[in-house]
């Protein structure tokens, strides 16, 4: 029968000795409905499906349930270049694991623009093939986010996003709280002259780190130096740290911390004996170092899993989704120690 035409649910029903409705429930029914079918009957139907290699017609399934059981995955930056693999891969692992559990396939939307000009709604995009979409990236196109919300297309952002004409459903990391805990730890070790190495926005993930850092500054500590490290030589950053008597430097990017620590070592400086270094979670630029930096773990796999589960719920129930921030667990590391005694105490506040 397989050699002459495509098998149908009716064929499976005849071979299993059950009704076509029973086969349909085994394949597509809700768990509560499937549970009403005796286990022996379910196993008999599933055994025939395995033996015959039957695959449900996706068009017929779409007509029956209005679903393709496909989740789109869109990234504003290319997901697979080696310099970004450490950032995106854990998200994708969590997404794939949960999609498999939910019996959905994944469609990686790669035709939506080229390089830094990737767009969800590019000409000829295949977004509507998917039942809904997961959206990742360092910075989103706000106009596209507004359109996704306005069109009520099922999507979930990975990472906190501001409202866009309506609430944006997301699963993110609580970077503000994680950063506050690290600043509190540094202050408890006697640090009062702090440096912030990195931008303070506009991406929400960056802004959250800045807010967490700044919210802890007060009578016990001050921002002595704020450096945007993009394209800035490590020597220049180290010189500024030394000139301003900084005792603890907080880095947005692990890659910047790695190159500053390596250059400091070449200059005869030792971390944390000469000054402490803290990384506010590894962000987008990959880096390798034998040093274990004091930091916090970003729960990327769990963010991917929970965002996928939320998206499936939106698709199947029509719900609006929610906004979830997951805890970033501290990493003790070896680069945060007691404040160095005798460093310069002249207060010089400067942004480079």
The angle, 0 to 180 degrees and rounded to 10, between the axes of the packed helices 39-52 and 20-28 is: 80
With a cut of 70, say whether residue 141 has pLDDT above it: yes
CA distances from 327 to 176, 177, 251, 281 (A): 10, 8, 19, 12
Return the bridge partners of 9, or none: none
Reported as type and span, the H/E element at residue 331 is strand 330-331
With a cut of 80, say whether residue 64 has pLDDT above it: no
The pLDDT-based confidence of 4 (bands split at 50, 70, 90) is very low
**DSSP state, 95?**
H
Q: Say whether 213 sits in a helix, a strand or coil.
A: helix
With a cut of 90, say whether residue 126 has pLDDT above it: no
Residue range 218-241, pLDDT digits in tens: 888 999 999 998 889 999 999 999
With a cut of 70, say whether residue 58 has pLDDT above it: no
Domains and CATH numbers, the chain: 9-63 (1.10.260), 70-168+300-328 (3.40.50.2300), 175-294+332-351 (3.40.50.2300)
DSSP helix, strand, coil percent of the chain (3-state; round to 5):
40, 15, 45
Residue range 171-211, pLDDT digits in tens: 999 999 999 999 999 999 999 999 999 988 888 999 999 99
d(CA 222, CA 219): 8
């Amino acid at each position: 029968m397989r050699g002459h035409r495509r098998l149908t649910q009716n064929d499976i029903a005849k071979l299993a000795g059950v009704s076509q409705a029973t086969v349909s429930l085994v394949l597509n029914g809700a768990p509560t409905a499937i549970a009403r079918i005796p286990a022996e009957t379910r196993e008999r139907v599933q055994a025939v499906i395995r033996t015959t290699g039957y695959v449900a017609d996706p068009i017929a399934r779409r007509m029956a349930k209005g679903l393709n059981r496909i989740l789109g995955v869109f990234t504003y930056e290319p997901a697979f270049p080696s310099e970004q693999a450490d950032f995106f891969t854990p998200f994708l692992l969590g997404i794939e694991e949960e999609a498999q559990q939910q019996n959905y396939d994944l469609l990686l939307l790669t035709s939506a623009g080229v390089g830094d000009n990737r767009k969800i709604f590019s000409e000829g995009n295949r977004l509507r093939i998917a039942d809904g979409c997961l959206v990742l990236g360092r910075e989103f196109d706000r106009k596209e986010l507004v359109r996704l919300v306005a069109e009520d297309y099922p999507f979930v952002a990975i990472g906190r996003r501001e409202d866009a004409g309506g609430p944006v459903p997301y699963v993110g990391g609580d970077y503000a709280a994680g950063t506050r805990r690290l600043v509190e730890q540094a202050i408890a070790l006697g640090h009062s002259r702090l440096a912030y190495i990195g931008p303070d926005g506009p991406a929400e993930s960056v802004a959250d780190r800045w807010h967490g850092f700044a919210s802890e500054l007060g009578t016990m500590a001050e921002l002595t130096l704020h450096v945007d490290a993009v394209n800035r030589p490590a020597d220049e950053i180290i010189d500024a740290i030394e000139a301003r008597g900084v005792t603890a430097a907080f880095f947005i990017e692990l890659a910047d911390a790695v190159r500053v620590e390596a250059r400091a070592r070449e200059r005869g400086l030792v971390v944390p004996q000469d000054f402490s270094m803290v990384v506010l979670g590894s962000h987008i630029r990959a880096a390798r170092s034998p040093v274990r930096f004091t930091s916090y773990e970003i729960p990327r796999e769990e963010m991917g899993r929970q965002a996928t589960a939320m998206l499936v719920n939106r698709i199947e129930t029509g719900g609006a989704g929610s906004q979830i921030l997951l805890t970033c667990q501290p990493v003790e590391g070896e680069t945060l120690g007691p404040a160095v005694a005798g460093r310069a105490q002249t207060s010089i506040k400067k942004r480079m």
